[in-house]
Chain A
Amino acid sequence: MKNRNSFTSCLSPRQIMELDACTQCGECLRNCPVQEVTGNPSISPPEKIRIFREFIRATEGVKARLFGAGDIDRTLLEDFTKAVYECTTCGACGQDCSVGIFTQRLWPMLRNEMVRRGLGPLGAQANMPEAVRNTGNPYSRAAAERFAPWRPDIRIAARSDIAYYAGCTGAYEAQPMARGDVLVLDAIGEPFTMLSAEEEVCCGFPLFITGQHDMLGDLVRRLVCAYQGKGIKTLLCSCPCCVNFMTRDWRPFYGGPLPFRVRHITQFVADALGRGRIAVKKELKERVIYHDPCYLSRGVGIIEEPRIVLRSIPGIELLEFSRHGMNSRCCGAGGAARKVFHENAVAIGRLTIDEAVDKKADKLILGCPACYAKVNEAMQGNEKQIRIVDIMELFAAALR
């Protein structure tokens, strides 16, 4: 693709206004996890926006309209691509933005533009579409391994009002989390169904977040139709990335309203606790600290429910990170950046570990499979050590 072509074809009018609205104030650098570990302002949100505005100006500005679009330096394009992919898309910059830019959705669309121009994605991210096409998941793992290693011997209904989606990262990379989910659902006692290992394919989030949108329509329609065939009314999922993508983006890719509602598992469990469908009797005398996943808290506003679930365990003392809820710090795994910028991801993950240890927590509670996989990796070789547990893994243990 020629560098003189429009840079705005992947953006909505709102996003174009957002690009124009950036004041370059730099407040967004304050809590940017990538800035925390790299200290490199040239890859910061305002610099990315400034450069992208230059691209738009060079191709569609007054001078370009009067005298023709100028060519954009290839190195600048490549540097921008690297910067936009080094981001974890956690959205902390948008939370701090003095003009309220919705960065959690702006960055993926800028990535989409870079993919369109043949500059993105980077490294291993480029293998994901083929992996999903061939195996149904971005890890190129066999469908036979999707549920077998972790799913306990519990009754899964053939059809039900409720379905559980394990998600690829939960099923392959954070199995205690997916196991905890189904154990808790089984304990609640309401029948639930699941798709078969062959039917339960990637939700599309990893492709969306890396800007590779070509397969998304097919993938989303395939999953929605499969769940529709099971007659479900509620789709439960514990992976924040999947939940976020299903809630916010499945509808446009499906092409209409979804025939069921999507709920995060903590909403379902908090509701079951409220209705007395489940109660924890076992006491756990522990100080635990809960990390809010970015795509759950900032993404869809699930902040209180995980805390309701944790507080329902007798004896638990719940601690909070200095940055929690809407202001939570990224674990380092977000935006598929961990697949390419491994060192950043580990360094960011260690910030969370270190704070949890400094607060004298016995356990670090996570609620996201990507966080679970990456923070466990960050723990290896780290000076400070803490036991990492998924929220449903802990809750399931308390039910036993």
Chain B
Amino acid sequence: MGILLAGGFYFAVLVFLGGGVSRFLILWKTYGLDKAVPVRGAKSSPGTQAKTICKALGDTFFFARLIRTNDVLWPGEWIFHVSFVLVVLRHARFFLAPVPGCIAFLQPAGIIAGYVLPFALIYILVVKLIIEKRYFSTYNFFLLSLIFSASLTGILMRTLLKTDSAAAKVFILGLLGFRLQAAPGGGLFAAHFMLVLALVLYLPSHLFTAPFTLLEARAREEELKRIIHEE
């Protein structure tokens, strides 16, 4: 089982990094080519630029644009994303030795987030599928199902069918150091690990690009005031 999980781990990491390199190459290729790039308004003053950055940070960390369009969905989406980040940070202890103080500090919050996460996902599904009955992409449904399953297996490992977390850490550090170690016993760890690897394979690209487009959108909004109006 350990070899299978290790193979899956290296495959997922390679695909993830390959995807990143591939995207970088596409951007590199298009950079500076002569295209019809629309003109925007004059650049704003440094003070206004600072405000624009603050607004974009608000959009990134508080999903301010989503509040504007869907305040019912917003709590679920925001709590889900915050919980997800906390859970990921909590899991960093498996990849780091010694564990940095900040990661250790976040452990209690990470545990709570681990329990909140599936409820946030249920909320999103209820809003999308039952209350609003609107478009729900197959990809997002797949992704949420994947995270929900990973989250449930994680909770089970912590509560009912406890897994040896020390053995899990040894296994993961072994993977990182290319010195394979035995995986913790029981199928639950394997299931959880595979689900997370699948998540790495299907990780949505917006996690990396949305902050840039949000900043762009705020800058565009600001420059719109000067595109045709007098200074």
> How many interface contacts (CB-CB < 8 Å) are there between A and B?
148
In chain A, positions 1-49 with a C-beta closer than 8 Å to chain B are 6, 8-14, 16-18, 20-27, 29-30, 41, 44, 46-47
> Which one of A62, A98, A252, A300 has the greatest number of beta carbons of chain B within 10 Å?
A98
Please choose the segment from B106-114, B149-157, B220-228 that sits at the chain A interface, where 4 or more of its residues have CB less than 8 A away. B220-228
**Any chain A CB within 8 A of the CB of B178?**
no
Contact between chains at B227 and A248 (CB < 8 Å): yes
Task: Enumerate 26 A-B pairs (CB-CB under 8 Å) in ascending A order.
Answer: A12-B35, A13-B30, A16-B26, A20-B206, A20-B208, A20-B209, A21-B212, A23-B140, A23-B206, A26-B137, A27-B70, A47-B137, A61-B19, A62-B15, A62-B19, A65-B18, A98-B66, A99-B213, A99-B217, A100-B213, A100-B218, A101-B217, A102-B217, A112-B36, A251-B39, A300-B228
Complex-state Cα separation, A96 to B21, whole angstroms: 31
Q: Given A99-B65, A100-B65, verify A56-B214 contact (CB < 8 Å).
A: no
Question: Is B102 at the interface (CB under 8 A from chain A)?
Answer: no
User: Which one of A18, A47, A267 contacts B213 once the chains associate, using CB atoms below 8 Å?
Assistant: A18
Interface size range of chain B in the complex: 35 or more
Partner of A24, one of B38, B139, B218, B227: B139
Please tell me which one of the listed residues B25, B69, B224 contacts residue A300 in the complex, with CB atoms under 8 A apart: B224
Known: A44-B135, A105-B38. A100 touches B216 (CB 8 A): yes
- Complex CA gap A381/B81 in Å reads 50
Residues of A within 8 A of B214 (CB): 99-100
Inter-chain CA distance A264–B229, complex, in Å, is 10
The 8 closest A-B pairs by CB, nearest first: A100-B217, A26-B135, A24-B137, A62-B18, A248-B38, A20-B205, A21-B209, A21-B213
A247 in the interface (beta carbon within 8 A) = yes
Q: Are B227 and A300 in contact (CB under 8 A)?
A: yes
A252 to B40, CA, bound (A): 11
User: Which residues of chain A have C-beta atoms less than 8 A from B134's C-beta?
Assistant: 26, 29-30
Known A21-B213, A50-B137; judge A13-B31 contact (CB<8 A). Answer: yes
Chain A residues, Cβ within 8 Å of B27? 13, 16-17
Q: Are A61 and B22 in contact (CB under 8 A)?
A: yes
By the criterion CB–CB under 8 Å, are A99 and B26 in contact? no
Taken together as a complex, chains A and B put the C-alpha atoms of A11 and B31 apart, in Å, by 10
- B-chain residues with CB within 8 Å of residue A264 when the two chains form the complex: 228
* A30 to B70 Cα, complex, angstroms: 10
Residue B162 interfacial (CB < 8 Å): no
- Contact A29 to B135, CB < 8 A, known contacts A21-B209, A243-B228: yes
The reply to whether B213 and A11 form a contact with Cβ atoms under 8 Å apart is no
Encode B66-93 as 1/0 by CB contact (under 8 A) with A.
Answer: 1001100000000000000000000000
